[in-house]
A and B are shown apart, each in its own frame.
Chain A
Amino acid sequence: MKKKSLALGLAAGVSAAVLALTGCASGSAPAPTDGPVAAGPAVTVNWSEPENLLIPANTNEVNGGLVLNNLFAGLVYYEADGAWAYDAAESIESDDFQHWTIKVKPGQTFSDGTPVTAESFVKAWQWGASDPELLNQWWFIDAVPFEGGTYDGGEDTLALEVVDDLTFTVDLTRPMADFPLALGYTVFFPLPEAFYADPDAFGASPIGNGPYKLSDEGWVPGTKLGVVPSESYTGPRTPQNSGVDFIVYASEDAQYADLLSDNLDIVQNVPQSALATFQADLGDRAVYQGNAVFQSFTIQPTLPHFAYDEEGTLRRAAISHAINREEITQVIFEGTRTPAEDFTSPVIAGFDPASIEGSDVLEFDPDKAVDLWAQADAISPWSGSFQIAYNADSSHQAWVDATANSIKNVLGIDASGLPYPDFAGLRTEVNDRTIPSAFRTGWQFDFPSQSNILGALYVTGAGSNDADYSNPEFDELFDEGVTSATLEEQVAAFNAAQALLFRDLPAIPLWYGATTAGYSTLVDNVEFGWDSWPILYAVTKAAQ
C-alpha cells in the first residue's frame, strides 16, 4: 500500500508535464453532410436538471432553455453571431414597426404529427401571458410591449389575431423595430394542442416542432435527457448527428474530468479550478470567446452621498476611475473576462464604445479619481465606508474584495465586500430598496439587441431598474433607438443614450463575460453562439 501511494504522487507530477505537451493534438473536421441523419453515437453534452418543467412560458434558465431550443423551432432562430434568420416563419412584416403580420411556413408539423399553424403560436402566447405564476410572463409586458399584456393575467388578453391558417397579426403599444429579433426566445415557441390537456405531463415530455424530438428513453430524471433528430422538421437547422444526450452532472469538475477522458463530448463551462490550464489541456478543442453577459455593480441613489446630484455623480465617477479592471480580470479571472467599455456587450450588434462620449470614465486613473473624490468632499465631506454587497453562494468574493481594495487603495477610504448568504437574500433587500451598500448586478442578454439591456435596466420605471434611474432625456433617446428602421440609426440613438449613462453612472460597468468551454476528440464542428449555448445541430460525431 505504501508503494502505491508513493508511485501515485510521482507519476502524477510526470504525467502533468506529458499532458501539457501533448494537449495540442486535434483532428481536422470532416465536411458536414446534408440529407439523412448521420449514423453513430449521440453527442453528449453536460447538463443540470432544469429548475422547472420544460414548458416554454415557464423556463427562464439555461438548462431547460437549451433543451427547448433544440426541441422547438420559433418563428426565427439565432445564428452564432446573434443575427436572426427565419425558422418556422415565412415572413414577419410591418409598415410601422407597431402592427406586425406574421406568416408561418406551410406544411410544418409537430413531432406528434399535428400541423404547425398560426393558431399554434397565438394560443401558446395567450397562454403564456395569462398567468402571473409563469416566470416568462414579463416578456409579453416589459420585454416586448404587447398590446393587452398585463400582470393581472386573464385569458386572451393579448391583441393577437388569426387571419388565416398560417397568418396572424400582432399589435404592440409602441413601435419596436427589432421585434423579430426578440421572437427567437423560448417563450415565443408554438405549442401543439396536446399541451393544453395536461401542461405538467407535457412539461415532463414535451412535443415540439424543432430539429430534435425526445428519444424513446426521453428524460430520465437525475441521469440524462436524450433527443434524436425529428423527421418532421424541415427548417434550416438540420441535425448533423444521430442525436444529443444531455447528461446530468453535479459538479463542473466531474464533467471536466469526463471531457479529458473523452467520456463527454461537450462541456459548456470549464470549472474555476481549470481556468488557468484548460487551453493547454485541450489545445484546439478549447473554446474561449466573449458572450452576452454584462457585469457591474449598482449604487441606489438612496445611499448617502450617492444621489443623482453633483456630489453623487462626482463620487460615482471617482469610484469608476479607481477600479483597475485590467488587473482584476487578469489576476482574478485568469483573463476570462474582458474589461467593460460600455453598458452593453461586444458580441451584440452595434457595439461601438469608442464613439460614445464619456466612456473614458471606465479607465483606471488614480489621479483623476482622487481629484473627483476631493471635489465631492468639498460639497459634502465623506464619512463611513463604501461597501459592495454580493451573494456568497457563488464565487464572487474574490473579485468583490479585489474591486473594493482597488477603490480603497486609490481613494484612501474604507472599502470592503459585504457578503449575503445567498442570492435570494441579496435580491430581497435590493428589491425592497433597503440594501445599505452598493451591490453586484449582471445581465445576460435574452435576445441579441442592445435594446434588451438598456430597456430593462435604465428606462424610467422599468422592471429591473434597480438603480431607480429616471432621465427623460434617456427615455426619449431609447424610444428613438427602438423605433429606428436601421441598425445605424439605432446605434446612434443608443450611443447618445449611453453617453448619459456614462455621465450619471447608475451602475458601474466592470467587465464582460466569456464562454469558457471545450469538446472531446470525438466531435467536430463545435461552435458556441452569442448566448453561450453550443450549436448542437451542427456538431458531427464520428462513428466509433
Chain B
Amino acid sequence: MTWYIVRRVLQGIPVFLGSTFIIFSMVFAMPGNPILRMFGDRTPSEAQIAALEAKFHLDQDFLTRYFLYLGDIFQGNLGTTYAGQSVNEILLRTFPTTLRLAVLAVLIQLIVGVLAGLVSGLRKGGIFDHATLIVTLLLISVPVFVLAFVAQWFFGIELGWVRPTVGQGAPWQDLILPAIVLAALNMAYVVRLTRGSVIETNQMDFVRMAYGKGLARGRVVPVHILRNSMIPVTTSLAADFGILIVGATVTEGIFNVPGVGNELFKAINRHDMPEIVSIVTILVIVYVFVNLLIDLLYGVLDPRIRYVKK
C-alpha cells in the first residue's frame, strides 16, 4: 500500500514537468508581442518595447525563460502578476472559496441525488421513477451556463430569494445557488447510477435472504441495499469533486464567485501570462493528487480491489 502511494506520487513528477512545459510553451508561443497589448491602440516607442521586454524576460529565449520559471517554482515562488501581486497569495485567497463551493456541490449531489435514486430504484416503474428520468434527462441536456443564467435571473432577480451573485467574503448562503447549478449535471448521473445499482442489488440473493430471515425494510434498505450500491456512486462523486476543485470557470464567472476558476478567467482576459501558467500548473498538481485519492478510495470501499504488495 505505502509502496503504491510512493510510486504514484513519483509518477506525478513527470506529469508535473510535462504539463508545466506544455502550458508554458503554449502560453508563450502565442503569436504577438504582449507588450504591444499593454498600450492598446497606441504604438509604444522602440525604447519602451525594449525596456519592457527586458523587464518581463521576453527578450530571452524560450528555454532560458522556462528554466528561470522552474527555478522559481522549486523555491516555492509562483511568480507575480503584471499588477505585482504574488500568485501564491492569489491561490491562497481563491482556493478555499472554490473548495467550499465544491464541497457544497458534492453534498447536494450526495443528499438529493442518492435519495432520489434510491426511491426510484426501489419503486421501479412508478410515477416518481418516471418523473426523475425526465428531469435528469433535462438536466443532462441543458448546458450549465443556460442553467446558471436562468437560475440567477429567476431566483436572484425575479424572486429575490438570494443574491444573484456572490457577495464579499463568499458567505455560505450565497454559494448555495451556484453549488446547486454546479451539482445539477452530475447529480443527474448520480440519480441514474444509484437507481440502476439499487435495482441490481435489490435482486441479489443476500437481499432476498435478509428479507427472508425477517429483517425489517427499514434495516434492509440502508444497510444491505444502499451500502452495496454506493461503490459506483462514490466513485462518480469523487471524480466530480476532482473536476470541481480545479475551478468551474463558467459558473464562477456567472455568479462572480471569487474562486480559482474566476481568477483564471480574469487572468486570461488580462493576458497575464505568469499568472495563467502558475494557476494552471497548480491545478494540474491538485488534479493529479485528487485522482490518486480517488484510486485509493476504491480499495477502502471494496476490499476486493485493494492494492496489495505483490
Q: Determine if B48 and A53 form an interchain contact, defined as CB atoms under 8 angstroms apart.
A: no
Q: Does A253 contact B (CB under 8 A)?
A: yes
How close is B169's CB to chain A, nearest CB, in angstroms?
A: 8
A51 touches B38 (CB 8 A): yes
Chain A 128-165: CB-based contact to B (< 8 A → 1; otherwise 0) = 00011101011001000000000111000000000000
Proximity bits, B93-137, A CB within 8 Å = 1, else 0 = 110000000000000000000001000000000000001101100
| A interface footprint on B29-49 (CB within 8 Å = 1, 0 otherwise) | 011111011111111111110
Does A224 sit at the interface, judged by CB under 8 A? yes
A303 to chain B, nearest CB (A): 18
With a CB–CB cut-off of 8 A, which chain B residues contact A1? 116, 131-132, 135
CA of A254 to CA of B45 in the docked complex: distance in angstroms? 38
Check A200/B47 contact, CB under 8 A, given A263-B164, A424-B36: no
Looking at B16-24, B208-216, B265-273, the stretch in contact with chain A turns out to be B265-273
- B30 in complex: contacting residue of A5, A138, A249, A422, CB < 8 Å: A422
Please, which residue of chain A has its CB at the minimum distance from the CB of B37? A424
Q: Is B204 an interface residue (CB 8 A)?
A: no
B43 touches A431 (CB 8 A): yes
A49 touches B40 (CB 8 A): no
Residue total for A at the interface (Cβ-Cβ under 8 A) = 68
User: Please, how many angstroms separate the alpha-carbon atoms of A221 and B275 in the complex?
Assistant: 14
- Chain B nearest CB from A377 CB (Å) reads 33
Closest to B250 in A: A251
Inter-chain contact B48/A251, CB cutoff 8 Å: no
Contact B265 A441 (CB under 8 A): no
Q: Tell me, in angstroms, the Cα distance from A427 to B34 when the chains sit together.
A: 9
Is B158 on the interface with A (CB-CB < 8 A)? Answer: yes
Q: Is B93 in contact with A425, judged by CB distance below 8 angstroms? A: no
Taken together as a complex, chains A and B put the C-alpha atoms of A50 and B38 apart, in Å, by 12
Complex Cα–Cα for A463 and B41 (A): 11
Interface of chain A, main secondary structure = mixed
Which interface residue of B150, B256, B272 has the most chain A CB atoms within 10 A? B256
**Judging by beta carbons under 8 Å apart, are B270 and A51 in contact?**
yes
- Report whether B50 and A221 are in contact in the complex, using a CB–CB cutoff of 8 Å: no
Q: How far is the CA of A133 from the CA of B169 in the complex (A)?
A: 35
Asked if A442 is an interface residue, CB under 8 A from chain B, the answer is yes
Closest to A7 in B: B154
Contact among B44, B51, B254 for A131, CB-based, below 8 A = B51
* Alpha-carbon gap, A477 to B235, bound state (A): 75
A28 within 8 A of B: no
Distance between Cα atoms of A115 and B110 in the complex (Å): 62
User: Which residues of the partner chain A approach B33 to less than 8 Å between Cβ atoms?
Assistant: 424, 427-428, 431
Check A456 for interface membership: any CB of B closer than 8 A.
yes
Neighbour of B45 across the interface among A60, A151, A221, A441, CB < 8 A:
A151
Quick check: B48 and A464 within 8 Å, CB to CB?
Answer: no
Q: Residue A85 at the B interface, CB < 8 A?
A: no
Interface flag for B90 (CB, 8 Å)? yes
B79 at interface, CB cutoff 8 A: no
A12 to B151, CA, bound (A): 10
Query: Does any Cβ of A come within 8 Å of B66's Cβ?
Result: no
Q: A12 to B154, Cβ gap below 8 A?
A: yes
Q: Is the CB of B135 within 8 A of A5?
A: yes
Residue B167 at the chain A interface, CB threshold 8 Å: yes
* Pair B32/A253 contact, Cβ less than 8 Å: no
Q: In the complex, A257 Cα to B30 Cα: how many Å?
A: 34
Say whether A463 contacts B31, CB under 8 Å: no
Which of chain A's residues have a CB closer than 8 A to the CB of B256?
Answer: 249-251, 254-255, 258
- Answer yes or no: B65 CB below 8 A from chain A CBs: no
Check if A304 is an interface residue, CB within 8 A of chain B.
no
- What residue in chain A is nearest B160 (Cβ atoms)? A261
Given contacts A11-B154, A250-B253, A464-B42, contact A425 B164 (CB under 8 A): no
Residues of the A chain whose Cβ atoms lie less than 8 Å from the Cβ of B37: 422-424, 427
B90 near A257 with CB under 8 A, answer no
Nearest-CB distance from A245 to chain B (Å)? 9
Query: If the complex has contacts A133-B55, A257-B156, are A221 and B93 also in contact, measured as CB distance less than 8 A?
Result: yes
B138 on interface, CB distance cutoff 8 Å: yes
* Chain B CB within 8 A of A181 CB: no
Q: Is B164 touching A151 in the complex (CB atoms < 8 A)? A: no
Chain A residue with the shortest CB-CB distance to B132: A1
Whole-angstrom CA separation of A101 from B39 in the bound complex = 31
Contact code string A401-424 (vs B, CB < 8 Å = 1, else 0): 000000000000000000011111
State how many angstroms separate the Cβ of A252 from the closest Cβ of chain B. 10
Q: Give the distance to chain A from B85, nearest Cβ to Cβ, in Å.
A: 5
In Å, the complex CA distance between A46 and B152 comes to: 18
Q: State the interface size on chain B (CB cutoff 8 A).
A: 64
Contact between A138 and B44, CB atoms less than 8 A apart = yes
Instruction: Check A375 for interface membership: any CB of B closer than 8 A.
Output: no
Q: Quick one: closest A residue to B54, CB to CB?
A: A133
Specify which chain A residues have a CB less than 8 angstroms from the CB of B82 in the assembled complex.
51-52
Interchain CB contact under 8 A, A425 and B32: yes
Given A1-B116, A48-B266, A137-B48, is A466 in contact with B32 using a C-beta cutoff of 8 Å?
Answer: no
**In the assembled complex, which residues on chain B have CB atoms less than 8 Å from the CB atom of A496?**
none
B contact residues around A260 at 8 Å (CB): 157, 164
Q: Are B258 and A223 in contact (CB under 8 A)?
A: yes
Compute how far the CA of A5 lies from the CA of B266 in the bound complex, rounded to whole angstroms: 32
The verdict on B84 contacting chain A, using a C-beta distance below 8 Å, is yes
CA gap between A223 and B89 in the complex, in Å: 13
CB closest residue in chain A, given B94? A222
Structural contact, B38 and A60, CB atoms closer than 8 A: yes
Chain B positions within 8 Å of A19 at CB level: 158
Report the nearest B residue to A203, measured CB to CB.
B84
Contact partners of B41 in chain A: CB under 8 A: 441-444, 464
Question: Is the CB of A204 closer than 8 A to any CB of chain B?
Answer: yes
Question: Would A424 and B30 be within 8 Å (CB), given that A2-B134, A203-B84 are in contact?
Answer: yes
Q: Which residue of A lies closest to B169 (CB)?
A: A223
- The reply to whether the CB of A383 lies closer than 8 angstroms to some CB of chain B is no
In the assembled complex, the CB of B225 is this many whole angstroms from the nearest CB of chain A, namely 22
CA distance A260 to B51 in the complex (A): 45
Q: How far is the CB of A403 from chain B (nearest CB, A)?
A: 18
**Most A-side CB within 10 Å, residue of B152, B153, B157, B266:** B157
Contacts of B116 in A (CB 8 A): 1
- Interface status of A15 (Cβ within 8 A of chain B): yes
A378 near B: Cβ within 8 Å? Answer: no
Tell me whether A263 and B138 are in contact (CB under 8 A).
no
List 24 contacting pairs A-B, 8 Å CB cutoff, sorted by A: A1-B116, A5-B135, A49-B83, A50-B83, A51-B38, A131-B51, A132-B47, A132-B50, A133-B55, A223-B258, A250-B253, A257-B157, A258-B164, A261-B160, A261-B164, A420-B31, A420-B32, A421-B30, A422-B32, A422-B271, A423-B32, A427-B33, A427-B37, A444-B41
Residues of A within 8 A of B (CB): 1-2, 5, 8, 11-12, 15, 19, 48-53, 60-61, 131-133, 135, 137-138, 141, 151-153, 200, 203-204, 220-224, 247-251, 253-255, 257-258, 260-261, 263, 420-431, 441-444, 456, 463-466
Other A-B pairs, 13, CB within 8 Å; known A2-B131, A135-B38: A1-B135, A5-B135, A11-B154, A15-B158, A52-B84, A53-B83, A138-B45, A151-B46, A253-B254, A260-B157, A263-B165, A424-B31, A430-B43
* Residues of chain B having any CB pair with chain A under 8 Å: 30-34, 36-48, 50-52, 55, 82-85, 89-90, 93-94, 116, 131-132, 134-135, 138, 149-150, 152-154, 156-158, 160, 163-165, 167-169, 252-256, 258, 262-263, 265-266, 270-272
Per CB-CB distance, the 6 closest pairs between chain A and chain B, nearest first, are: A425-B32, A424-B32, A151-B47, A132-B51, A257-B164, A427-B36
